[in-house]
Structure 1
Amino acid sequence: MVATDQLQAMPLAAAALAVAAALACAVLILALFPLLRRYALARPNARSSHKVPTPQGGGIAIIAACLGAAVLSPLLGGPTVPVAVVGAALLLAAIGTLDDLRPIPVLPRFALQAVAVALVLVVLPAEFRILPPLPLVLERGLAFFALVWFVNLTNFMDGLDWMTVAEMLPLTATLSVFALIGTAPAAIAPVTLGLAGALVGFAPFNAPVARLFMGDVGSLPIGLLVGWALVLLAGAGHLAAALLLPLYYLADATLTLLSRLRRGEKVWVAHRTHFYQRATDHGFTVREVVGTVFALNLALATLAGLSVALSTVAADIVLLAVGTVAVATVLRRFGRKPA
């Protein structure tokens, strides 16, 4: 791994990675669009927020641009992304492509996701710890289930135009800053910079009303790559920041899952009961929902930054409490019909 101070010395190269990823993503989408329109139409179903068939598969361009940035990074003097992480992301992109074209049964899909997550975790050094008081086997087991869940919740939450952009752009931009200043491991920078840039390139095509969807080919590997970056941030001693950054996604998806389990529903079946989906059913426009999520994520990124800067247990507890109240306020607003 390239030392963090080397990465700090290349801000122009870091910006170049993000800009190159944005341009590459947009160009790839324009090139792929005729094929996606012909072969990869997403037709409305029980989970959908759209009313007419819309091309999906924009995630092909997002992941290609992101991983291209990861490959380019060492050539610019930047850090190298572990081969296992790149391979795991490609595996999930392949699974997502197949699922977009013809749904894969639940058990094989989860098994392949588990393989991808295991590939990412197995290359972590033995001395890497998030919660040292726990036995290493238990900690790795918890990380495994957390990453599998994060991959799936990222997929579940990609159900509205601009939703993934509103969540992941502030998150990946903040992680990039953390890596550049040495707060997070330098290895995450090519991935987070590439993802941030690629999402900017994708955003015009996914703007409400979307002309193109990301598809599972994008959401599954994005969940893995961002989850990996958050795990490394937590292992660098910033667990509170790693929880604050994705807190809206974690809360919406997890509370929805628990609610469906309580009602005895088949949780693997498509639905429209996430808080952000209920908000549109209650009269919020798509732009109002994603604008609120984007603003919330900027606030959570600020809290994460404060957590990193202060680096005390007391500050982390207070900041997590503030973040939880902010997320709960938004969920309550989304989940209730206007008076």
Structure 2
Amino acid sequence: MTLAPLIAVPLAAALSAGLIVLLKPLLQRYALARPNARSSHTMPTPQGGGIAIVGAALVAAALLTSLFGIRLVGTEGAALAFAVLVLAGVGAVDDIRPLPASLRLVVQTGAVAAVVATAQGRLLPEGWAWLELPAALMAGLWFVNLVNFMDGLDWMSVAEFVPLTAFLAGLGLVGGYAAEPALVAGALLGGLLGFAPFNRPVARLFMGDVGSLPVGLIVAWLLFRLASQGGLAAALILPLYPVADATLTLLWRMRRGEKVWQAHRSHFYQVATVNGFSVMGVVARVFALQFALAGLALITLLWPFWPVTLLCLALAAGLVGWLLRRFATPRP
């Protein structure tokens, strides 16, 4: 057990909020998101707050690894930090001047591949390594993009990932999660908390691709590390809402023959605002659901028996399905 994740939260939160205050005039000038037909906002709003989230998380994690003597094995830490910076850089450029989808995909694939190739732990037996690595690459690439897709409403990313990262950091504090990813989870949690006041509905600042892409990569790595140390069911349950919303929306758009790489407003959480839910009503429900999923994930770790695991997976799927159905149904 180590106190590093606990210390990382206020440290990264202070750094994140401070960076936002310093950078906001520049973002207001060079990275202004103007509303269009696919936007959820109605006023021009600066984007790029993810610079502060990611920067604060990296700095806090780096400082505390030295202070507490925590080291990622081999090149895992360096590869993760490099990949996060690459995605942040591409996202920053894309926020200011949109890049071709093909170029973004190539860069994302390289970044995810670097993390997958160096990540410690495996899920499948040694003889199946040939299948695990490409499967992890595809899953990681999709997760990075779905986090980007799901960042389309004020506080949505905060509602999705504050409970998740808080759960993982807390798990590390009691010795149920490796010290290295627990520290990273605490640092990312702090970065999100420092950003949250500026993104509160109605948002004065958006995260932007500079934040959503690297946050997606970090969370994917955190979940892989959790799964590789015996928490596969928990790793599936924790991100189930954003995975379900983004995946079902993608499949239905493909079925309708739409260009899936183009921006749209057909995610369940976006449709909910058309169906009579307020923005705060949407994110509050997602926030509550994420805490419920964290509770189910904890049960699978405390009682790792297959009947308990199957029951928790079924309950998680039922809760997520219920909320998606609520969002898709017009309110009276």
Normalising TM by the smaller chain, what interval?
Answer: over 0.9
Which amino acid in 2 is paired with 1:16? I
What is aligned with 2:109?
Answer: 114
Give TM-score scaled by structure 2 length: 0.96
Q: Could you say what secondary structure the match of 1:135 adopts?
A: helix
Q: CA deviation at 1:133?
A: 8.1
CA contact (8 A) 2:33 2:47 kept: yes
Q: CA deviation at 1:78?
A: 4.6
CA contact (8 A) 1:170 1:294 kept: yes
What is aligned with 2:24?
Answer: 33
Query: Distance in 1 between the 2:110 and 2:78 partners?
Result: 15
Q: Which runs of 5+ in 1 are unaligned?
A: 1-7
What is aligned with 1:258?
Answer: 251
Distance 1:301 1:166, change over 3 A: same
CA contact (8 A) 2:231 2:301 kept: yes
CA contact (8 A) 1:241 1:304 kept: yes
CA contact (8 A) 1:179 1:186 kept: yes
What is aligned with 1:77?
Answer: 68
Kindly indicate whether residue 90 of structure 2 is the aligned counterpart of residue 95 of structure 1: yes
Match of 1:267 among 256, 260, 265: 260
Q: Which runs of 5+ in 2 are unaligned?
A: none
Which amino acid in 2 is paired with 1:261? M
Q: Could you say what secondary structure the match of 1:86 adopts?
A: helix
Query: Distance in 2 between the 1:134 and 1:254 partners?
Result: 30
Q: CA deviation at 1:137?
A: 1.1
Q: CA deviation at 1:130?
A: 1.1
Kindly indicate whether residue 52 of structure 2 is the aligned counterpart of residue 61 of structure 1: yes
CA contact (8 A) 2:148 2:209 kept: yes
CA contact (8 A) 2:9 2:190 kept: yes
Which amino acid in 2 is paired with 1:41? L
Could you tell me the percent identity over the aligned residues? Answer: 54
Q: CA deviation at 1:134?
A: 6.8
What is aligned with 1:45?
Answer: 36
Deviates more, 1:160-169 or 1:79-88: 79-88
Which amino acid in 2 is paired with 1:310? W
CA contact (8 A) 1:73 1:80 kept: no
Match of 2:173 among 173, 180, 195: 180
Which amino acid in 2 is paired with 1:116? A
Query: Deviations for 1:223-265, whole angstroms, at most 9, x for unmatched residues?
Result: 0000001011111111110010000001000000000001010
Q: Could you say what secondary structure the match of 1:270 adopts?
A: coil
Distance 1:121 1:88, change over 3 A: same
Give TM-score scaled by structure 1 length: 0.94
Which amino acid in 2 is paired with 1:15? L
What is aligned with 1:246?
Answer: 239
